[in-house]
Structure 1
Amino acid sequence: MTNSALLVMDVQAGIVSRFDQDSDYLPGLRRAIGAARAAGVPVIYVQVGFRAGYPEISSHNKGFGAIRDRGGFDEAAMRIHPDVTPLPGEVVVTKRRVSAFAGSDLDVVLRAGEVRELVLTGIATSGVVLSTLRQAADLDFRLTVLSDGCLDADAEVHRVLTEKVFPRQAEVTTIDAWAKGL
């Protein structure tokens, strides 16, 4: 997969903790990361984060404003989940909005690495995955979504996105099928 990268988005301890810890999500995501590394596909981690005092959060931003008003995330909750920890040298991008591109240097990292295809995973399907897919499509990236590498609080929303919406702009496949093709 020349010129591709696997994006692992918002798989942070505080976000993962909201989901069933007995699910197959993290083991599957570890398989995808392992397959990418073995094939020489860069793994890029994307996390949401803010400075002390949350100067990036506008009072007009309903979603992030609520986080700020609750006191935000503590430092431990912001860390990438220990089950999918980046290796030394793997890129970790901090974003300030829902899309992996918004308020981050992801585009610069991708251009510098001559990446033209993105393989998307993350939490939530209806949040970071949807927003990143839309923006990446507008930026002319080839896109693959690993349906079981994405997780959403609403199973029906996840299904509609992966079966009906995402296929309009991306190839949608499973972790095992993608890894087999590497």
Structure 2
Amino acid sequence: MAGSALLVMDVQRDVVDIVGVADSAGSGAGYLPRLRRAIDGARAAGVPVIYVVMRLPAGDPRASARSKVMATVVRAGLFAEGAPGTEIHPDVAPEPGEVVVAKRRASAFSGSDLDLVLRARDIDHLVLAGIATSAVVLSTACRAIDLDLGLTVLADACLDTDPELHRVVTENLFPLWGDVLSVDAWLAAIGSR
């Protein structure tokens, strides 16, 4: 899949803890191993893996009180630069040389150099995976279609705290914007299983 990249977004220790990915009975059951398969398959097929993380300066003065989400995030001390919880979960950690993009808001493009990274590598198609479907995945997909980028969403490599919201977005909205596939279907399409 020349021109494609897999974006692994917000799979950080604090986020994984919040959504309860480790809970084998919850909606996150099997999430990290499934995401790991997608990452390993992308690498095997020569598809670049780009990690996106949320990192905010402590007490981020750019976080407006008008933004309910950002005010809550800053008050809770989430995503503070240098905090252990902002690290990418070790089960899906990047290999040396893989790009890690730091963003400042929901979209992978917000306050980051992702667009520059994509242009420098001639990437015109994004394969999205991450937590949460209704936050980073949705926001990034919106921006990607505005930039005329091709889009694939790996539905079972995305996760949300609200399973019904995840279902509605992946079944009703994302198919209007691009392809929605399972990890296994995507791996078969790129010839990596």
The one-character-per-residue Cα deviations of 1:37-67 (angstroms, maximum 9, x if unpaired) are 0011000000001113312312222111112
Matched with 2:5 is 5
| Structure 1 stretches of 4+ moved >3 Å | 71-74
In 2, Cα distance between equivalents of 1:142 and 1:67: 31
Alignment of 1:1-182 (within 5 A): 1-18=1-18, 19-21=20-22, 22=24, 23-73=29-79, 75-182=83-190
Residues 115 and 179 (structure 1), Cα distance of their counterparts in 2 relative to 1, 3 Å cut: same
2:52 is aligned with what amino acid? V
Q: TM-score, normalised by structure 2?
A: 0.91
CA distance in 2, matches of 1:158, 1:51: 29
Q: Percent identity?
A: 56
Give the total of aligned pairs.
182
Q: Deviations over 1:93-126 (max 9, x none)?
A: 0000000001100000000000000000000001
Structure 2: runs of 5 or more not aligned: none
Equivalent pair of 2:126/2:151 in contact (CA under 8 Å): yes
Q: Are 2:155 and 2:170, in contact at CA under 8 Å, matched by a contact in 1?
A: yes
Amino acid in structure 2 at the alignment position of 1:13 = R
TM-superposed CA distance for 1:71, in Å, is 3.2
Q: TM-score, length-normalised on structure 1? A: 0.97
The 3-state SS of whatever aligns with 2:158 is strand
Instruction: Check conservation: 1:50, 1:56, Cα contact below 8 A.
Output: no
CA–CA separation in structure 1 for the residues paired with 2:155 and 2:105 = 22
